[in-house]
Structure 1
């Protein structure tokens, strides 16, 4: 397998993972459904419209295009909470910022590879993309709470993510189960992408008129 094929597979894998995260972040219907699934209005005392409004402000804030500080329409926020959301935004902005370059690099390398040889990079992309869901899925299945804690310890160097509902009531609107649903959506999207890459690879590899023996 040529180095170019490997680089292409890595670029596409990172692109798929980034796209899955960005899509899930902006897929607000998932949260809207969880408002009812977790009975948030009843448990928190906030009406559904107010819950949506505060959640939407948080998602808007995490957009790479948003300029300004985070302000919840009806909720208070501690300084520690504000710092944590700034740190979260940095992660999401980084992921969103690298998505376009990765897409371009992966597409260009894919086209260049496909013109000369079988698209082995698609098979490798399928394997790499499926590996992460397999590992993370196993960790989540074993113990979601421990996985959630480990995730925060890896990405944050403080304990500001441990919110006090009295000073940061937004935490009441963000149950752990919602984050698990987000993780499952990311895993589902990457798994679908992995399967598609494998299907496309097999279809393209069966076209002898394009890939002769000397190109394999």
Structure 2
């Protein structure tokens, strides 16, 4: 009985880990398209003398460093990086890599679990967890929308134990071309992707109930 409960808990945990990491990783990938749009819209190049091509190249370099374990240390072609800035990006890299690890490990278990639910006609079991997964991010989104600046600060205080994330534009001008709105849009994108997964879970669960699965 205990072993069965542990197994069931592991299955749900793998599914939750997959949904969350999938939404975040897809946001990572979609940010390659989002960044140049925000950079152009908010005219960040007026804050630092680089061309649009150079700016995008440096963003790709930064993302490669954050997501690829073998890219080290951080070097940007057109932006200097201070010791504190490098320390913060190293901390961010750990979170990015952790997200990829969770995704890689959880995916086969989550896919197998979903397949089992389908074969056993038990997809209705997705309803309650998906409903919870749908509501909780909405609550967080409402809190964030009230004061994104404070939410952004609280987010960094939660995940980082030092103050290295408080960039000095004089020593780390990369912060000048990474507008707060860009981070906000990334949060919104990750939120929408995760909510989409929860809605799909609810739809399949209700369909299963109607079919009598």
- Establish whether TM, by shorter chain, passes 0.5: yes
Query: Structure 1 residue aligned with 2:178, among 156, 161, 174?
Result: 174
Any conservation in 1 of the 2:17–2:106 contact (CA below 8 Å)? yes
Q: CA RMSD in A?
A: 1.9
Q: Aligned residue for 1:33?
A: 37
Q: What's the offset of the Cα at 1:117?
A: 4.5
Query: Structure 2 residue aligned with 1:110, among 96, 111, 114?
Result: 114
Alignment partner of 2:163: what SS? Answer: coil
Q: Aligned residue for 1:52?
A: 56
Query: Structure 1 residue aligned with 2:103, among 99, 103, 109?
Result: 99
Q: What's the offset of the Cα at 1:5?
A: 5.9
Q: Aligned residue for 2:134?
A: 130
Any conservation in 1 of the 2:123–2:204 contact (CA below 8 Å)? no
Q: Aligned residue for 1:214?
A: none
Q: What's the offset of the Cα at 1:121?
A: 3.3
Query: Structure 1 residue aligned with 2:91, among 87, 90, 98?
Result: 87
* Equivalent-residue separation in structure 1 for 2:69 and 2:211 (angstroms): 43
Q: Aligned residue for 2:18?
A: 15
* TM-score in terms of structure 1 length: 0.88
Any conservation in 2 of the 1:16–1:129 contact (CA below 8 Å)? no
Any conservation in 1 of the 2:64–2:71 contact (CA below 8 Å)? no
* Equivalent-residue separation in structure 2 for 1:12 and 1:189 (angstroms): 15
Any conservation in 1 of the 2:27–2:189 contact (CA below 8 Å)? yes
* Equivalent-residue separation in structure 2 for 1:197 and 1:5 (angstroms): 18
**Aligned pairs, how many?**
208
* Equivalent-residue separation in structure 1 for 2:161 and 2:129 (angstroms): 32
Q: 1:64 to 1:127 in 2, by over 3 A?
A: farther
Q: What's the offset of the Cα at 1:107?
A: 1.7
The equivalences for 1:140-159 within 5 A come to 140-159=144-163
Q: 1:65 to 1:26 in 2, by over 3 A?
A: farther
* Equivalent-residue separation in structure 2 for 1:104 and 1:190 (angstroms): 19
Unaligned 5+ segments in structure 2 are none
Any conservation in 2 of the 1:11–1:105 contact (CA below 8 Å)? yes
